[in-house]
Chains A and B, each alone.
Chain A
């Protein structure tokens, strides 16, 4: 459904080409595309309007009009401005007060407060803090049980909230408990509520005044539409938020809500939730979010993940092997394992620019099962076979397929792919990427 802004702008400029100098009117046409891109990403209408107006000023005073690559120029300006608006740099939790430090999580129903509180607790526990989780949602059935289960899975203490007591009493009791048992931090999971629910908003206000939390974090769903502004504004007005956590960013929502929230409250987005697993909570990077809102991919995150998955020494060794042409099936398997460490295939694909648009067009997905299969096949080979795949004749293929629970065709396919890889590597070691391009083995 969404076309990348990159493509759109390039098209606009293409149509304008050959007409000599660009006029202000032409720029307006470009700005309209930018505005549409923002609206399609769920950026609030007013926020988008103001933003585009500020871009207009920058673009017109700039050399865009004379530039050879006006599309790139404009995109650069848009991206820089968007990054600046989203917060410029990473903002961290402020925990430097006398313990126990209280963190209060608030938000609408279903935004992900309970899940996020357990993720946050896990992260803080990793940094050697003694953390207490406090379930204070007495409204949704089994919400307290949910947090208790999450806590016990992660070996984090959970306050034994009594559902018959009021959230206010629970929080007061938990704070006392934390003081006596010398906890560093308590994380309060409040019930979801509508920002216009006066009774429940007052309840939060009361909780705030008795426990005096160091951080009050709004948990906001990345899929939120225009309403994000009203939600953030209302919560901020009655509680004076200290920050925001954006959840469910592992979907395909462009997350314009991030910009809306930041623009109307001025409060920083501190973390983003990127998956169902307990460790899927990451610091917020404004520059990456800007690319995402503009559907321009997130190459930085990808590189970071790749770097942590492929450890330094391995990479050096790999280089050597490629040079000596001794890259064998064992190395091939190691590579696959490294790729798996980077996360799910769809997560990786999401970070590649333009992938959003391709996915919408029904691009076939890389299959994780396929990776597993390849691993199984390689594991069913002897050391000798892994080193010299040429050895693998018909009867060996039969044995390997039986041993790995796959079809002979799968083994054939793998061997063929491996041959291709080896060929590619030879070219690579000769002439780098250029060698590959010349050989026509890369699609670009």
Chain B
């Protein structure tokens, strides 16, 4: 089923990522095509393009270092070979972080969703839940953001829209209690997937990160392995701070997967390459639009083909 779907969506993905294609790849093309020689000036131009696309300083130098190495070994003869080389560097970075979420032996699979404020956690959960429901999974979502005004209502709207069970407590109540109840409900009702929302928090706030640890800890009292997945949601508009976010969230609660949201429209898809290169954490999903179907599984080949 998914293979079929994948093909059908490809052209749509291509148009959604046209901004990135335009802002990254077309610029690379303009810089290199027709060039006889790969000199310092060209490398400098490429550096500008990659950094402007938010690949980050380190990743940009990694890629250009690899390319220059090939030039020195005379492995790159013309502009087309150079283009292919950049493409394959990017693909390799992305491919190594491609990995699917496995439901096997996990009933329910418990997923905890974390991230800084405003990255789109609640929206991502709404979309994930309705998608897995459409695959025939029995899904429960938990309104664990008891801090932000109306966050519970926001998730409630999503639950109602797609007819999904929601576990919620009143505003201001203990998010760990919500998480506990959700995992327990998932176990008792024989759900396939339990997704737990958490309040957005800046990764530098120790007390809030401690709260997150506690939320995680209580889940394991119901199911020892839970949460099976700790999904970090990162906004594609974020710059170098994405690295710091992932690092500190990882230290606190052990990130097992990343969703990169808001990749559509504008030329900011490059950030995903930087994230993959620096974080070494699987990228599970990419968000390419507002529609329910615009949150997609991440495939490195599909992504690279769509932008190149």
Q: Which of A's residues lie within 8 Å of B, judged by CB? A: 1, 36, 39-42, 44-46, 49, 108-112, 140-143, 145-150, 153, 194-197, 221, 223-228, 230-231, 248, 250-254, 256-257, 276, 344-346, 350, 359-360, 365, 367-368
Contacts and interface: CB of A to CB of B under 8 A. Distances in A.
B interface, size bucket: 35 or more
Contact of B117 (A248, A345, A359): A248
Contact of B241 (A109, A150, A253, A344): A253
Nearest to B247: A1
B57 A42 contact: no
B286 to A, nearest CB: 16
Given A226-B239, A252-B203, A360-B244, A141 B153 contact: yes
B280 to A, nearest CB: 14
Contact of B237 (A141, A227, A344): A227
A383 B119 CA distance: 52
A74 B203 CA distance: 33
Contacts of A41: 240
B118 A109 contact: yes
Contact of B116 (A143, A248, A257): A248
B149 A257 contact: no
Contacts of A346: 204-206
B112 to A, nearest CB: 20
Contacts of B264: 194
Given A153-B149, A251-B116, A365-B206, A224 B157 contact: no
Interface in B173-226: 202-207
B257 interface: no
Given A250-B202, A346-B206, 18 more contacts: A1-B247, A109-B262, A110-B120, A110-B235, A140-B123, A149-B171, A221-B118, A221-B237, A224-B238, A225-B54, A225-B241, A226-B53, A227-B267, A248-B116, A251-B203, A252-B241, A276-B117, A276-B147
15 contacts: A36-B57, A110-B262, A140-B154, A142-B150, A143-B150, A145-B153, A149-B150, A150-B149, A195-B266, A223-B116, A225-B54, A225-B241, A227-B267, A250-B205, A252-B204
B120 A109 contact: yes
A223 B153 contact: no
Contacts of A350: 204
Nearest to B157: A141
Nearest to B122: A141
Interface of B: 19, 48, 51-54, 57, 116-120, 123, 126, 147-151, 153-154, 156-158, 171, 202-207, 235, 237-245, 247, 262, 264-268, 271
A255 to B, nearest CB: 9
Nearest to A252: B204
A314 B237 CA distance: 47
A251 B239 contact: no
A359 B205 CA distance: 12
Contacts of A196: 19, 265-266
A96 B70 CA distance: 63
B266 A230 contact: yes
A226 B244 contact: no
A20 B19 CA distance: 51
Nearest to B205: A346
B204 A359 contact: yes
A252 B158 CA distance: 32
A81 to B, nearest CB: 21
Interface centre among B117, B120, B123, B247 (most CB of A within 10 A): B117
B154 A142 contact: yes
A46 B206 CA distance: 35
A252 B246 CA distance: 12
Contacts of B154: 140-143, 146
Contacts of B48: 45, 49
A54 to B, nearest CB: 18
A146 B237 contact: no
A194 B235 CA distance: 13
Nearest to B19: A196
A50 to B, nearest CB: 13
**Closest 9 A/B residue pairs (Cβ):** A225-B239, A110-B118, A146-B150, A42-B239, A141-B157, A149-B149, A142-B153, A142-B154, A145-B150
Contacts of A368: 207
B155 to A, nearest CB: 8
Interface centre among A148, A153, A344 (most CB of B within 10 A): A344
Contacts of A227: 54, 237, 239, 266-268
A225 B271 contact: yes
A110 B267 CA distance: 18
Contact of A223 (B150, B171, B239): B239
A146 B149 contact: yes
Nearest to B119: A110
Interface centre among A40, A224, A251, A252 (most CB of B within 10 A): A251
Contacts of A251: 116, 202-204, 241
B116 A194 contact: no
B239 A257 contact: yes
Contacts of A226: 51-54, 239, 268
Contacts of B239: 42, 223-228, 253, 256-257
A230 B157 CA distance: 32
A230 B267 CA distance: 9
Nearest to B207: A368
A45 B57 CA distance: 11
B101 to A, nearest CB: 24
A157 B22 CA distance: 45
Nearest to A151: B149
B226 to A, nearest CB: 27
Nearest to A41: B240
A33 to B, nearest CB: 12
